[in-house]
Amino acid sequence: MPHTMQARPQKAELEKRLFKVANRVAHEQASVTQWSSFHVWNSLCHFNTADDVSKVGDGIWDDMAPFAHCVGMATLVTKTLRAALQKTPDLADYADHVQLMAWKAGEHITSERHFHALTAIQLSTHCIVIDLVAQASAFEIPLGGYYQCEDRINLMWDAVDWFNYEYTMRYGQQELQFVQRDENGKRVRDNISPLFLPIDPTAALTSLAFPACETLKRTPFGRLPGRKYIQARAFLDQKPTALAFTEIGARYLAMTCQVRVDFGARQLVFQIPYKDWLLRPENRHYRGDLEWFGVLERCHPNLKDAVAYFTVNLGPPQARNVVEVEGLAVVHLMDKICSKLGLPDGEIVHIARVVVDVWKNLELEMSGAHSELAAESGCRDRRQ
């Protein structure tokens, strides 16, 4: 009995230390990695097959840095956390329990919304999770309980959303899954997401990330990539009043910039902090610049001026022609603003060039197709 009483506190203390290491790794990775389905698409769309992608392997995420989406983030976090535990006295045995896990909504992956990946350590009494898409800190879910992640302002819906996770025991197995709950916190049982299951990093890359990048959308102008998104975090020196944040040291890490890359509409739509950044005295001149170039759209009243939206058009609607990015001053203005909100200098200019190049290539393909049809028609006319 005395031996049992001594063993329990030791395990509890080790698991406290385990969580501290996981949280430190989460903060480190969240500080240097930006979520982007655009950059994943731009890297993977050049591969012809999943086999070609597998030859590069998960090293592609290092090449893509500082950008990744959930698969890349979870791959990097899993690798970093395992290495950190292996170097930590008394915690090395836990390194083998660190898992890259994913769920997918069916077998036919055509969008990043059809899967999600994270890092988890499944323990007998709780689960430690690092999901940098959901929040910048690690979190713990007690067995039989659930965890609601921090609020996020969703660019797609101009509303607050969040991730809910549940950790349960079923048929003698611990299970981690998304779970939907109503406004009272009650589980919605007719809308249960698939379970998270362990997955190999290369398999996650080839069976999840790559298929989503292969899919093209049919449009009146031809086949184009679907909308892609970027979510950037940055440190703010002053405590935000409207944005969710993670306090790290004496600074505040918050989601400061979101970009929607709309190939079909030839638009870049930006979400930037309004109350906590644009209205600050040192940044107010940017507000004047934005209003001079176009309409600075305020967010839904429920969001209480947390963010504002600005749209940059890269070509006229209902036409194939596009602008030349170099001469578009508003693109360079947004590049400057976004570089202060977490994105590298020149990144917005680069993204705009990619959208324009996709349309130029589409025009070349269409012109070639028309030329071939005209040649065939001429041959038929001559034969007649």
Residue ranges per structural domain of the chain: 2-211, 216-368
pLDDT at 374 over 90: no
Closest CA to 246 of 85, 130, 375, 91: 130
pLDDT band at 376 (very low <50, low <70, confident <90, very high): very low
pLDDT at 372 over 50: no
Q: Report pLDDT for 326.
A: 66
Please give the C-alpha separations between residue 150 and each of 29, 132, 162, 226, in angstroms, as whole numbers.
17, 11, 6, 28
pLDDT at 73 over 60: yes
pLDDT digits (tens, 9 = 90+) for 201-216: 999 999 999 999 988 8
Contact 146, 129 (CB under 8 A): no
pLDDT band at 154 (very low <50, low <70, confident <90, very high): confident
pLDDT band at 142 (very low <50, low <70, confident <90, very high): very high
The residue written with tokens 């690690």 in the block is: 138
pTM reported for the whole predicted model:
0.89
Q: In three state form, how does the secondary structure of the chain look?
A: CHHHHHHHHHHHHHHHHHHHHHHHHHHHHHHHCEEEHHHHHHHHCCCCCHHHHHHHHHHHHHHHCCEECHHHHHHHHHHHHHHHHHCCCCCHHHHHHEEEEEEECCCCCCCHHHEEEEEEEECCCEEEEECCCCCCCCEEEECCEEEECCCEEECCCCEEECCEEEEEEECCEEEEEEEEECCCCCEEEEEEEEECEECCHHHHHHHHHHHHHHCEEEECCEEEECCEEEEEEEEECCCCCCCCEEEECCEEEEEEEEEEEECCCCEEEEEEEHHHHHCCHHHHHHHHHHHHHCCCEECCHHHCCCEEEEEEECCCCCCCCCCCHHHCHHHHHHHHHHHCCCCCCCHHHHHHHHHHHHHHHHHHHHHHHHHHHHHHHHHHHHHC
% of the chain exceeding 70 in pLDDT: 87
Least confident of 13-22, 29-38, 295-304: 295-304
Q: Report pLDDT for 28.
A: 98
Question: What integer is the mean pLDDT of 43-51?
Answer: 93
